[in-house]
Amino acid sequence: MSETREILVTNDDGFRARGIHVLAQMLREYGNVTVVAPYEPQSGKSVSLTLDKPLFIEKPVVESAAEGLGTLRVYTLTATPADCAKLGINIFLHEGRLPDLLVSGINHGSNASAASIYSGTLGATVEGTLYGIPSIGFSINTHADDPDFSGVLHYGRQILDRVLQDGLRNNVYLNVNFPDLPKDQIRGIRLARQGAGRWVKEFDHRVTLRGRHYFWMVGEFEDQEAVGAPDADHHVVDSGYVSIVPHRIDTTDYEEMERLRQLWNFDCP
């Protein structure tokens, strides 16, 4: 009999978010699920680690296996998503193995384009990838508390099936973004590249009644792509498709490295 698959799940919206509960239940169809989720929302934390204070963990809530479903254990941690992934991986290492898969999400809000740089959802997948664990981030393009996840469940299973069948290259993780549409309105799945964009008008300046100045981060997204660029991930999602962007841990630009080497000639003879 083949060994039961072990899956690690986390997110950046916190353990109360609807998305992580939907994801964990779906993944129980693929094996045993261990959730290590932040106690509080941690959006925008990227791969941030907590180095200056202790991390408090709650005893796991455990659900036994049922017909067609693996076990479920849920830990909460006063930590960032990358902390949660790291601690979850260490739980498995203490048990003598690594997880077979790490999935982060389902994030409430897009992580396409420049959002992928800041994303705590993807920060957790970076951590999993560093350990050689196939890792995927799932996000849906809405901040609603309880959106229609039917498209995520339908197309998410297709993506999981292919990843488990074909694997991922070392040092590569997947950033998957779903449109905020029901299953029957999604047009399909497309591989895409990270779109170009940035936020402008990012701070709202305010003053307290006692005269102290403070700022709320707000911002407007400025699209830097050509109109309708068909392979930019945020345009793919806006067109009604699920986008999949393979990201690399190694962010070295080798072509630029070679260009600078030839121009600057820093190498010693």
**Domains of the chain: total:** 1
Domain region containing 14: 6-195+228-264
pLDDT tens-digit readout, 55-77: 999 999 999 999 999 999 999 99
| pLDDT at residue 99, as a whole number | 98
Q: 131 falls in which pLDDT band (50, 70, 90)?
A: very high
Distance separating alpha carbons of residues 112 and 176, to the nearest angstrom? 8
Is 214 within a domain? Answer: no
216: in domain: no
| Residue 168 belongs to a domain | yes
In a domain, 208, yes or no: no
Q: In the structure encoding, which two tokens stand for residue 189, read together?
A: 């799945």
178-211 pLDDT tens trace: 999 999 999 999 999 999 999 899 899 999 999 9
pLDDT bucket at 2, cuts 50 / 70 / 90:
low
Sign of the Cα pseudo-torsion (173, 53, 79, 141, in order): negative
Assigned domain for 34 exists: yes
Confidence of residue 267 (pLDDT cuts 50, 70, 90): low
pLDDT at 216 over 70: yes
Q: Is the pLDDT of residue 87 over 70?
A: yes
For residue range 6-59, list pLDDT tens digits in order.
999 999 999 999 999 999 999 999 999 999 999 999 999 999 999 999 999 999
- Given a cut of 50, whether residue 1 has pLDDT beyond it is no
C-alpha 86/C-alpha 256 separation (Å) is 32
Q: Above 80 in pLDDT, residue 228?
A: no
**CATH code of the domain covering residue 126:** 3.40.1210.10
DSSP letters of the chain? -PPPPEEEEE-SS-TT-HHHHHHHHHHTTTSEEEEEEESS--TT-TT----SS---BPPPEEE--BTTB--EEEEEESS-HHHHHHHHHHHHHHTTS--SEEEEEEEES---TTHHHH-HHHHHHHHHHHTT--EEEEEES---SS---HHHHHHHHHHHHHHHHH---TTEEEEEEE-SS-GGG--EEEE-BPPPEEEES-EEEEE-TTS-EEEEE--EEEE-SPTT-TTBHHHHHHTTEEEEEEEES----HHHHHHHHHHH--S--
